[in-house]
């Protein structure tokens, strides 16, 4: 275990914000996690558990230790006639895992193609895209309690998953390191094409009966067309959550703005498309200082070059204010502001 000092975090966050960590350690094995925890370092100083850095905005130098989880490995736990139970280490790249599933015909994660980041971070915000959420393929996870070093299993109920949320963002924030996730994958795919432009994309390619590989390809095409390439443009994906409002508020908004984009939820609430609200306020493609809003997706705040965190925060606040003034709806960040 090599604890480095005064490390730039620019290459460790997809916003490419150049802040420094007082200390930085890369963890490559369970043994290293154990020795880090038993050393007591994490009980004595500020720490931050880092995966791929694709859902974080570092706002200042980090006056503590950044622990970068890079553990690798996949293991078949069990299978039956319907399902495969696969345990995947926290540091595995999410897209590598999706591609592994496609290659082996394990269905369930194809709609979650091309989401950046690690497997260990996926349960933290219950990642979701194109009508599927992590909780739909989640079986169990293993974590280590930072204070005691005790290994604990979390079932799906224990994780308290909801929209872009879990117990690890709330009650157990900074209490556990997720070590591995067990996925329950399907041997017989349940193809989901209802959400977004999947059907149109498949039609364009002349595909009538898609399998999981075709679904993944269609989603990758859609995502490449509307999201920035993080190798070239700094961002953290959707900056804001889609706000959820009661039916009464939705109907009032619909009356005033008939074009409003929203999805009805089962509990008679409505999820408003934050991207639509932001676009209506005229932000799409705008540059504000060294940051701005992506030209093809208004939900994405981008680093236009060497933006600082305050450039990004400035855009965030301007967007929140404009959306509130026009629609009386508050936008909350999906990104972890550290």
Q: Assess 121 for contact with ligand FAD (CB under 6 A).
A: yes
Instruction: State which of residues 19, 27, 37, 49 lies at the interface with ligand FAD (CB under 6 A).
Output: 49
Q: Assess 291 for contact with ligand FAD (CB under 6 A).
A: no
Q: Assess 122 for contact with ligand FAD (CB under 6 A).
A: yes
Segment interacting with ligand FAD, rule: CB under 6 A, options 181-189, 227-235, 281-289, 308-316: 227-235
SS3 97: helix
Residue of 210, 208, 72, 233 lying closest to 130 (CA atoms): 210
Residues 176-215 that bind ligand FAD (CB under 6 A): 177-178
Burial 93-122 (b: 16+ CB within 10 A, else e): bbbebbebbbeeebbbbbbbbbbbbbbbbb
* Structural contact between residues 149 and 57, judged by C-beta atoms closer than 8 angstroms: no
Which residues, listed in sequence order, are joined to residue 21 by a DSSP beta bridge? 7, 62
Q: Assess 275 for contact with ligand FAD (CB under 6 A).
A: no
Helices 212-226, 94-103: crossing angle, 10 deg rounding: 150
- Smallest distance from ligand FAD to CB 159, Å: 12
Q: Assess 27 for contact with ligand FAD (CB under 6 A).
A: no
Q: Assess 90 for contact with ligand FAD (CB under 6 A).
A: yes
**What distance in Å separates the CA atoms of residue 87 and residue 82, rounded to the nearest whole number?**
17
Instruction: State which of residues 9, 84, 120, 193 lies at the interface with ligand FAD (CB under 6 A).
Output: 120
Active site residue 238: yes
Which helix H or strand E contains 253, and what residues bound it?
helix 247-256
Instruction: State which of residues 125, 166, 186, 216 lies at the interface with ligand FAD (CB under 6 A).
Output: 125
Tokens of 119: 């497997």
Residues 57-86 that bind ligand FAD (CB under 6 A): 69
Q: Assess 243 for contact with ligand FAD (CB under 6 A).
A: no
Q: Assess 301 for contact with ligand FAD (CB under 6 A).
A: no
Q: Kindly tell me the sign of the dihedral angle through the C-alpha atoms of 75, 80, 84, 86.
A: negative
Q: Which of 54, 201, 238, 280 is flagged as catalytic?
A: 238
Segment interacting with ligand FAD, rule: CB under 6 A, options 34-42, 80-88, 117-125, 264-272: 117-125
Active site residues: 164, 238, 334
């Amino acid at each position: 275990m090599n604890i480095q000092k005064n490390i730039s975090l620019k290459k460790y966050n997809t916003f490419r914000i150049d802040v420094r960590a007082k200390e930085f350690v890369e963890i490559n094995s369970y043994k290293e996690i154990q020795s880090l925890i038993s050393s007591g370092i994490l009980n004595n100083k500020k720490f931050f558990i880092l995966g791929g850095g694709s859902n974080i905005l570092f706002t200042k130098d980090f006056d503590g230790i950044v622990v970068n989880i890079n553990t690798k490995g996949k293991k078949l736990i069990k299978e039956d006639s319907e399902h495969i139970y696969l345990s995947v280490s926290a540091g595995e790249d999410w897209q590598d895992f999706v591609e592994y599933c496609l290659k082996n015909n394990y269905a369930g994660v194809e709609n979650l193609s091309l989401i950046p980041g690690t497997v260990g971070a996926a349960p933290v915000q219950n990642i979701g895209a194109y009508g599927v959420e992590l909780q739909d393929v989640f079986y169990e996870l293993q974590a280590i309690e930072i204070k005691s070093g005790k290994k604990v299993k979390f079932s799906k109920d224990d994780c308290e998953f909801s929209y872009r949320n879990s117990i690890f963002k709330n009650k157990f924030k900074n209490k556990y390191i997720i070590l591995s996730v067990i996925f329950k994958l399907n041997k017989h795919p349940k193809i989901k094409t209802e959400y977004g432009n999947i059907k149109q994309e498949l039609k364009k390619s002349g595909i009538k009966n898609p399998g999981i590989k075709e679904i993944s390809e269609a989603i990758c095409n859609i995502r490449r067309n509307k999201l920035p390439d993080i190798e070239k443009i700094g961002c953290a994906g959707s900056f804001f959550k889609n706000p959820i409002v009661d039916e009464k508020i939705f109907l009032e908004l619909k009356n005033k703005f008939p074009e409003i984009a929203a999805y009805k939820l089962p509990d008679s609430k409505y999820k408003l498309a934050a991207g639509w609200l932001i676009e209506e306020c005229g932000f799409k493609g705008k540059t504000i200082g060294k940051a701005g809003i992506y030209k093809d997706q208004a939900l994405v705040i981008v680093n236009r070059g060497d933006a600082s965190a305050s450039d990004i925060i400035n855009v965030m606040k301007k967007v929140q204010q404009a959306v509130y003034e026009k629609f009386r709806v508050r936008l909350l960040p999906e990104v972890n502001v550290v």
